Amino acid sequence: MLAERKPEWLRVRPAGGESYAHLKGLLRTLDLHTVCEEAHCPNVWECWGGGTATIMLLGDLCTRGCRFCAVRSGNPQGALDLDEPRKVAEALADLGLTYVVLTSVDRDDLPDGGASHFAATIRAIKARSPGILVEALIPDFQGDLDAVRTVVDAGPDVLDHNLETVRRLQGAARDRRANYEQSLSVLRGAKAMRPGLFTKSSLMLGLGETREEVLEAMRDLRANGVDLLTLGQYLRPSEWHLPVQEYVSPEAFDALRVRGEALGFAYVAAGPLVRSSYRAGELFLERVLRQRREGAGA
């Protein structure tokens, strides 16, 4: 096991600033959750300081128990805030954002895994702020492609689902209800449902994977139509979670970015502090999507 002392490139500054305080206050007022806080994201200062955040739908209690994730596990027993879509749309309108990422906990206690709630939130956002671009980072819905279609039909501009780690480490890192092939089928299915839909996925590094295993996962994602990829360093949230086996250097991440671009990904964000919701990647997507809209309207 690797010593827990982090290298210099993983040090981040503490959260703060006017935009950070405004966003945090607004989210508290509306009783909304963000993956930024629940998953202990190291980039919270950058995103919140810039007035952006990833909204986490369906509460803060996840029915899965993945060994890498800081979000609380348990059984919400069907609890659902039916007013959440309106509250999220209201918050985003107040912030004046042009691009938002929606994600959620896994809700295996709900018949559709929460897909209809995801869809209702996307529609509420688009109705209140027609110009906003919405990226939906979805769970696997236990491989139910009808649930995936429910989200896709609501009109997200980008559809994400994270593969999380290489094939060999799936069982050690992810809940037993998740698996490599199921995640690939979700991404492949979503891509086939709407022409022109951008799909996206993410891998954590530092769990003991080899570079060849990472490249295999990248090739599998491209073979299943994934357009965008993020690669970041796994950081251990607590003693219960899997230990870090390696702190991957910025140079190694950069080499993987180059390999990903050669495989044909439209965009690869790779670095120690990169996460599946990553501001640089979102800025790239916003530029491409708005160019596409302008082209369609020409």
Out of 102-106, 163-167, 209-213, which region has the weakest mean confidence (pLDDT)?
A: 102-106
Give the pTM.
0.85
Locate the DSSP E strands across the chain. 33-34, 54-57, 61-62, 72-73, 99-104, 133-137, 158-160, 198-205, 228-233, 267-270
Q: Between these two residues, 165 and 3, which has the higher pLDDT value?
A: 165
Q: How confident is the model at residue 54 (pLDDT cuts 50, 70, 90)?
A: confident
Burial class (CB in 10 A: 0-12, 13-18, 19+), 291: exposed
Local structure of 200: helix, strand or coil:
strand
pLDDT at residue 150 greater than cutoff 50: yes
In CATH, the architecture of 10-297 is Alpha-Beta Barrel (3.20)
Q: What is the pLDDT of residue 36?
A: 46
Residues contacting residue 202 through CB under 8 Å, at least 6 positions apart: 160, 162, 163, 164, 229, 230, 231, 232, 275, 276
Domain ranges of the chain: 10-297
pLDDT per residue over 218-233, tens digit each? 999 999 999 999 999 9
HSE toward the beta carbon, residue 198, CA cutoff 13 A: 25
